[in-house]
């Protein structure tokens, strides 16, 4: 009987490459399972917390371009070119990024929501909803009430989400993810760990992800 492959992914909601990487990874899973046919294992995905800019205020006054200029010291022309390239690559994967509408914010509470959703079997839905809200819809994902609204849209209890976020119920799990990332030497995201053994960095192409899944599964089958 087919088994299960575990993939742990470190990412940040405020990372444009993480959403692109998610799309490519999801397609890589589809390609891998299609090639394996009836022998294909299930692929169990778990997302882990990584904050690219933990010092970001919840209510940043300014655009994404202004944030990059002020926090990264990048000139305006370089920022415009970079965001244009990222937008074009995202569009190739079916994602319509809107950096003009994006509300830059601190993501620690969004990561807590992902752990809350995980405890209720809804993490993958929550991850997709948060990324779409942030990069495409221009929604705020840093405040408790806004996060509770998004959680309710995927069927979670809004009042209980508010309680959880106000109590920082899952903050320890966020910090544990970040500590494990340090142990692994992860300095950028997205970062994928396959079967607890093999690390892959960056938004690779679907074929690359499918190849890694196939390699890891074949190695396990030979043991």
Q: What is the mean pLDDT of the chain?
A: 96
pLDDT tens column, 76-119 = 999 999 999 999 999 999 999 999 999 999 999 999 999 999 99
**Average of per-residue pLDDT across 21-25:** 98
Cα separation, 108 vs 170, whole angstroms? 10
97 close to 86: Cβ distance less than 8 angstroms: yes
Which residue range(s) make up the domain with 82?
A: 4-222
Residue 181's domain is classified under what CATH number? 3.40.30.10
What pLDDT shows up at residue 181?
A: 98
Q: Is the pLDDT of residue 221 over 90?
A: no
Cα separation, 140 vs 134, whole angstroms? 7
What pLDDT shows up at residue 73?
A: 87
Number of domains in the chain: 1
Q: Is the pLDDT of residue 41 over 60?
A: yes
């Amino acid at each position: 009987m087919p088994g299960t492959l575990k993939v742990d992914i470190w990412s940040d909601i405020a990372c444009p490459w993480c959403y692109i990487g998610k799309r490519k990874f999801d397609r890589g899973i589809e390609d891998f399972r299609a090639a394996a046919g009836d022998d294909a294992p299930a692929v169990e995905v778990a997302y882990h917390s990584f904050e690219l800019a933990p010092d970001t205020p919840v209510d940043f006054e300014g655009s994404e371009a202004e944030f990059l200029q002020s926090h990264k010291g990048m000139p305006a022309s370089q920022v415009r070119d970079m965001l244009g390239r990222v937008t074009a690559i995202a569009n190739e994967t079916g994602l319509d990024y809107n950096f003009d509408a994006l509300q830059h914010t601190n993501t620690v509470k969004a990561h807590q929501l992902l752990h809350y959703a995980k405890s209720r079997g809804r993490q993958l839905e929550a991850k997709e909803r948060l990324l779409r809200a942030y990069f495409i819809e221009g929604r705020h994902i840093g405040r408790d009430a806004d996060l509770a609204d998004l959680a309710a849209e995927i069927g979670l209890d809004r009042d209980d989400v508010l309680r959880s976020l106000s109590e920082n119920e899952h903050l320890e799990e966020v910090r544990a993810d970040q500590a494990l990332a340090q142990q692994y030497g992860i300095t950028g995201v997205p970062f994928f760990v396959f079967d607890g053994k093999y690390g892959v960095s960056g938004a690779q192409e679907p074929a690359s992800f499918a190849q890694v899944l196939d390699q890891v599964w074949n190695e396990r089958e030979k043991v």
